[in-house]
Amino acid sequence: MATKISIVLLTCFLIGACKKDQYTTRPQLTLKSVSSTSLHQGDVLNFDIDFTDKEGDIQDSIWIQRISSVCPGTFASIFQYKMPDFSPTKDLKGTISIGFIYNVANDPYYPYLGSCANKVDTSIFKFWLKDLGGHVSDTITSPKIIFN
């Protein structure tokens, strides 16, 4: 009898713990994919970031920070990019794709990622988003990226 009660309680707990995606007023970010964790000159680095937002008003800005372990003062800047303007819809879910090109200046399609004075570098990237209501998402961090 105690075993049956334990199984019923465990089942109720598991059903209660399994909830659908929850949309919150504060945007939620998840790193979906990174195109590569090892780059050479001319390679493109793409990040796909999944997001959810209850109001769907993510059209403010996304911030990106590169933090280098080899040249810490060189790539510690925070970059702010304006999000595209579109009509918000409630319970918005989607993917933001962000791309950079490594060590090639003046590329017409991708922002430039510099090198670390002819050294192999390892960096991480941090991303966060602000919506039109002023709500700031959580900060997500990439895996280590090697710049050869």
Question: For residue range 98-144, what is the model confidence (pLDDT) as tens digits?
Answer: 999 998 888 888 888 888 777 899 999 999 999 999 999 999 999 99
The span from the CA of 86 to the CA of 89, in Å, is: 9
Contact 142, 46 (CB under 8 A): no
Of the candidates 27, 12, 18, 6, the residue with the CA atom closest to the CA atom of residue 138: 27
pTM of the model: 0.81
- The verdict on residue 4 lying in a domain is no
Is 68 domain-assigned?
Answer: yes
2 inside domain: no
Question: Mean per-residue pLDDT for 2-27?
Answer: 54
The per-residue pLDDT for 74 is 67
Q: 56: alpha, beta or left, given left = phi > 0 and alpha = psi -120 to 50? A: left
Flag whether 123 is in a domain. yes
CB 84, CB 62: distance < 8 Å: no
Output the domain CATH number for residue 99: 2.60.40.2550
Range of the domain at 52: 21-147
Q: What is the pLDDT of residues 51-78, one digit of tens each?
A: 999 999 999 999 999 998 888 766 667 8
Number of domains in the chain: 1
Asked if residue 9 belongs to a domain, the reply is no
